Structure 1
Amino acid sequence: MPKTRLLTEFGIGSSLRHRDYTAAARRALQDALWRNSINLAELFGQPKEAMIIDVEIAAPDPDAVDTTALADIFPYGQVTVTAHKGGLDVPRPDGGTPTVIVNAAINVSLNLEPAK
């Protein structure tokens, strides 16, 4: 059965003082998820574990994002987290540690039979 994307959610998160890219990414994922309660798998008669969840993180330093820790946010589904170059490091006027802004996109898919 082909993988069919059914839903995309977006979020933004920040780390104001610690330049913690993983914390900012976690906040971006929470921003995307916490406003929604979508029972997508059940709508298609599938268990929640069947959901294929592809997460894209955009951070100024993608290598500093702990993608394994971010996968723990999702209580079910087959989760893949990938970090890419993006987001912002916002300089502070006093020259201190920059504020970090990270973006997240969550794509949810299921393996479905094609419509006939």
Structure 2
Amino acid sequence: MRRMIIEMGMGNDLHGQDYTKAAGRAIEDAMRHSSLPILPALGLDHAAMEVRVTVGVAQPQAVDCDALAAAMPRGTVTVRAVRGGMDVTNPDTGEVTVVAAAAIEVFLPPQGGWRLRA
């Protein structure tokens, strides 16, 4: 498999301190930045792509990676949570805003018969 696409996104949960929700919003943000016309152009089914998602949050153990993977629309998906993002505490109320970052990588089988030109 070769990485053909990488896209980044950011998401947050302003009041609920829900790391999965913030990570899901970061993934959705990344997906809104891309389209995959390369697949039909190559005659590939979306099932042929491997999708690797990495989400960064301050408390990665609080992310439900299986739920996030199940919400992805296409491909064989794996989601992993790593330490990153940030928690921002309101000094007046103590309320925590969770900020997440996501990277979505799309891998395709090696293709023959074409190549990119500079």
TM-score, structure 2 length as denominator? 0.88
Residue-by-residue CA offset, 1:5-59 (whole Å, 9 max, x unaligned): 0000100000111110000001001111124322332232211101100000001
Q: CA offset at residue 87 of structure 1? A: 0.4
Question: Which residue of structure 2 lines up, in the alignment, with residue 16 of structure 1?
Answer: 14
Task: Please give the root-mean-square deviation of Cα atoms over the aligned residues, in Å.
Answer: 1.7
Q: Distance in 1 between matches of 2:108 and 2:33?
A: 21
Structure 2: state its 5+ residue gaps: none
Out of 68, 71, 74, the position equivalent to 1:73 is 71
1:53 correspondence with 2:51: yes
Q: Which amino acid aligns with 1:72?
A: A
* Identical positions, percent: 40
Residue-by-residue CA offset, 1:71-109 (whole Å, 9 max, x unaligned): 122222000001000000011122422111000000001
Q: Distance in 2 between matches of 1:43 and 1:87?
A: 36
Q: Distance in 2 between matches of 1:36 and 1:113?
A: 21
Structure 1: state its 5+ residue gaps: none
Runs of 4+ in 1 over 4 A off after TM superposition: 113-116
